[in-house]
Amino acid sequence: MQLDDATPDQLQALEARLAADHQAFVDRGLALDLTRGKPSAEQLTLSDALDGILQGDYRAGDGTDTRNYGGLDGLPEARRLGAALMGVDAGDVLVGGNSSLTLMYQAMLVAHRFGLAGPDSAWSRQGTVKVLCPVPGYDRHFTVCEQLGIEMVTVDMTAGGPDMDRVEALLAADPSIKAMWCVPKYSNPTGVVYSDATVERIAGLGRIAGEGFRVFWDNAYAVHDLRGFRPLASISEACARQGTQDSVLQFGSTSKITHAGSGVAFMAASALNLGGFKRFLNACTIGPDKVNQLRTVRLLPDRDALMAHMQRHAEVLAPRFKVVLDTLDAHFADSDLGRWERPDGGYFVSFDTRPGVASAAVALAAAAGVKLTPAGATFPHGHDPLDRNIRIAPSVPTLPELEVAMQVFVTCVKLASVRAALAG
């Protein structure tokens, strides 16, 4: 279907037909949810062996009694798991609690308020603070900035990662830009994996940017491949080559590997950054939940175990992504109604409608009982200037539910597009 070629009469006829299809969905009283990217119960069950896995043996490899206080860096074996997950040295890893988002929030707070390299390095002492946000991006990254009163500067995503010409030009021109968010593998929501050239250029940003600049490298989907492991160029090695080790903070977690609410989070950084972070952390906690760290390591003792486990996740997730992509292909291939990515991993399919259509499509879907992430959520302050990006999260519904939800989705996108064309 090419809306741009349709006559007003054809548009009217189409609108009537689609409105009837939509009403038929409304009448079914559906209650389906394609919003948050969380694992399905079937995926969570893959890690149920966590329960009781310690069998009363709470001793870590070095003899630590994990039930007690202490161990701010995390258990050595948990640091090794984080290292295997993120492709870094275990000595550079700090193991936190159940959420990498917490570590990211805390790291940004420290950089802003206390200074990772001592009080004089605090961003807040240097006037206005801005952060680069590739868009569409992860809404919770934006919320962190919003809450800390940090300005967000958007940069478009391309097929190889953020638009690096723009990133470099912005950083060279504006020393008040202090950080950049990155989801380098299966980016939320576009599914893009940063190219080797992008990774190399990001490692070089520390030499272009002003004092105290940090990349927040949120590698949330490091091993979340649907079709076999896809390597990501090592940002640590690129930084080592370029002498910019202090400019990148890396994050990851087992939230979407084991049980999402009781995963283990990791941060990897240079000694300078970890030192600054731990001065803060030491005031917050006497130590993380090492019992959970030990349970997690017993379930996933090495990289082979981790990859075998992720293969089982892929077997659950891949058919769901196939339903989404097959439905989009069947309805929108060769049309001017939308564009989307074909991710090989992660949790999302990012769909761009024609400009000015996304919020109407999301509202129509809600009326038909299909919840979608609010249009605009993938942009700072919830504002998509072109009102066109919709994030589809297919992990939770069953396959039959997803089939129906996607039929509703395509109907709503078509109806909203036709109405916009009639109005415009």
- What residue has token string 């250029």? 201
Asked if residue 289 binds ligand PMP (CB under 6 A), the reply is: no
Instruction: Give the strands of the sheet with 338-340, arranged side by side.
Output: 338-340, 349-353, 389-392
What residues have CB less than 8 Å from 64, skipping those under 6 apart?
A: 70, 71, 75, 290
3-state secondary structure of 238: helix
Q: Measured from the CB of residue 119, what is the shortest distance to ligand PMP in angstroms?
A: 28
- Binding to ligand PMP (CB under 6 A) within 37-96 occurs at 37
- Binding to ligand PMP (CB under 6 A) within 100-119 occurs at 100-101
State which residue, 188 or 292, has the beta carbon closest to ligand PMP.
188
Q: What is the rounded distance in angstroms from the CA atom of residue 197 to the CA atom of residue 129?
A: 27
Asked if residue 293 binds ligand PMP (CB under 6 A), the reply is: no
Nearest to 187 by CA among 223, 145, 218, 230: 218
State which residue, 123 or 181, has the beta carbon closest to ligand PMP.
181
State which residue, 115 or 184, has the beta carbon closest to ligand PMP.
184
The sign one gets for the Cα dihedral 413, 414, 420, 424 is positive
Asked if residue 220 binds ligand PMP (CB under 6 A), the reply is: yes
State which residue, 108 or 410, has the beta carbon closest to ligand PMP.
108
Which H, E and C letters describe 121-151, residue by residue?
HCHHHHCCCEEEEEECCCHHHHHHHHHHCCE
Among residues 123, 138, 277, 409, the one that binds ligand PMP under rule CB under 6 A: 138
Among residues 46, 93, 180, 183, the one that binds ligand PMP under rule CB under 6 A: 183
State which residue, 220 or 413, has the beta carbon closest to ligand PMP.
220
Q: Measured from the CB of residue 376, what is the shortest distance to ligand PMP in angstroms?
A: 17
State which residue, 146 or 403, has the beta carbon closest to ligand PMP.
146
Asked if residue 218 binds ligand PMP (CB under 6 A), the reply is: yes
Q: What is the rounded distance in angstroms from the CA atom of residue 189 to the CA atom of residue 335?
A: 22
Q: Measured from the CB of residue 402, what is the shortest distance to ligand PMP in angstroms?
A: 19
Q: What is the rounded distance in angstroms from the CA atom of residue 78 to the CA atom of residue 72?
A: 12
Asked if residue 395 binds ligand PMP (CB under 6 A), the reply is: no
CA distances from 229 to 199, 313, 322 (A): 18, 13, 18
Q: Could you tell me where the beta strands, DSSP code E, fall in 296-363?
A: 338-340, 349-353
State which residue, 188 or 236, has the beta carbon closest to ligand PMP.
188
- What residue has token string 């991993």? 345
Stretch that binds ligand PMP, among 15-23, 97-105, 143-151, 206-214 (CB under 6 A): 97-105
Nearest to 380 by CA among 197, 74, 151: 151
State which residue, 82 or 338, has the beta carbon closest to ligand PMP.
82
Q: Measured from the CB of residue 266, what is the shortest distance to ligand PMP in angstroms?
A: 9
Q: Measured from the CB of residue 101, what is the shortest distance to ligand PMP in angstroms?
A: 3
Stretch that binds ligand PMP, among 99-107, 326-334, 353-361, 407-415 (CB under 6 A): 99-107
State which residue, 217 or 332, has the beta carbon closest to ligand PMP.
217
Q: Measured from the CB of residue 255, what is the shortest distance to ligand PMP in angstroms?
A: 3
Phi, psi (degrees; rounded to nearest 5) at 265: -105, 150
Beta strand 177-182 with 214-218 is parallel
Q: What is the rounded distance in angstroms from the CA atom of residue 153 to the CA atom of residue 380?
A: 9
Asked if residue 337 binds ligand PMP (CB under 6 A), the reply is: no
Q: Measured from the CB of residue 260, what is the shortest distance to ligand PMP in angstroms?
A: 6
Stretch that binds ligand PMP, among 98-106, 143-151, 287-295, 296-304 (CB under 6 A): 98-106
Among residues 85, 265, 274, 365, the one that binds ligand PMP under rule CB under 6 A: 265
State which residue, 82 or 212, has the beta carbon closest to ligand PMP.
82
Run of H or E residues at 177: strand 177-182
For the stretch 372-395, what's the b/e string if a residue is b when 16 or more beta carbons lie within 10 angstroms of its beta carbon? bbbbbbbbbeeebeebbbbbbbbb
Q: Measured from the CB of residue 100, what is the shortest distance to ligand PMP in angstroms?
A: 3
In the complex, which residues of this chain contact ligand PMP (CB under 6 A)? 37, 99-101, 138, 183, 188, 218, 220, 253, 255, 263, 265
